[in-house]
Amino acid sequence: MSGQVLVLGGTGEARRLAAALVAAGVDVLSSLAGRVADPVLPEGDVRVGGFGGAGGLADWLATHRPRAVVDATHPFAARITASAAAAAARHGTPLLRLQRPGWTPGPGDRWTYVDSLDDAARAVHDAGTVFLTTGRQGVAAFAALPGRVLVRAVDPPDGPLPAGAVLLLARGPFTVDEEAALMREHGVDVVVTKDSGGAMTEAKLVAARRLGLPVVLVRRPPLPAGVEVVTTVEAAVTWVTGPG
């Protein structure tokens, strides 16, 4: 067994975890899917690309024998999270899931939760101008929307865009003032987002509250059963290094 810890990444938390583990003297290998054209690279060693499903990841664990895996992927990256749970269980590798909490509505918020992107598309079908912030891979579910759709993503979306799409390629974080100005400029009537949680992309929700706009949030996919979960980078560092 190597002393290496495999961090499944692609999130700000994963980068912070890699930095904290490197600072604590832990040998870290971060894994990225390779989707983003110009990723911000974590500290420590990095590998890029899929493993080939749960079987491929189990083979990788058998070959590389890391002492632990921390799945710090995005709350909506359900396939790699399922793969990690199955592969770690098959190989007996300790596995921790690091997942930040979802957002919680406050006074003045007009939030509706739905179970899927398709349900979100149905919910906003006749809602006027839609501000879509569901990520590049989620845009296709909204292709049949009849109205104006402001689509914001880091990289160009996969699949077809709605006929009335206005595409905005931009990488956050954005301030509340910037988000509110954008919503006003485009006459946004409703905001659609995944319940990603975290401070980095929260400004749009605060801006929507300020403008009195409704928000449709897609619920997170469920986590695999039996996997230990923490919600902070600090707790993940303690899990790896032991208390004190």
Which spans of this chain sit near ligand NAP (rule: CB under 6 A)? 8-11, 31-33, 35, 50-53, 56-57, 73-74, 76-80, 83, 135, 194
Q: Please, which residue, 53 or 147, has the CB nearer to ligand NAP?
A: 53
Rounded least distance, CB 18 to ligand NAP, Å: 12
Least separation in angstroms between residue 216's CB and ligand NAP is: 16
Give φ, ψ of 200 to 5 degrees.
-60, -35
Least distance CB 71 / ligand NAP (angstroms)? 8
Is residue 238 helix, strand or coil? helix
Residue closest to 40 by CA, chosen among 171, 152, 197: 171
Q: What is each CA distance from 154 to 3, 9, 102, 145, 164, in whole angstroms?
A: 35, 17, 21, 21, 19
Of residues 132 and 180, the one with the C-beta less far from ligand NAP: 132
Could you give the strand order of the β-sheet that contains 214-218, starting from the edge strand earlier in sequence?
Answer: 110-114, 214-218, 190-194, 130-132, 148-153, 164-169
Closest distance to ligand NAP from the beta carbon of 146 (Å): 25
Among residues 12, 42, 174, 206, the alpha carbon closest in space to that of 108 is found at 206
The residue among 80 and 216 lying less far from ligand NAP, judged by its C-beta, is 80
Cβ closer to ligand NAP: 27 or 189? 27
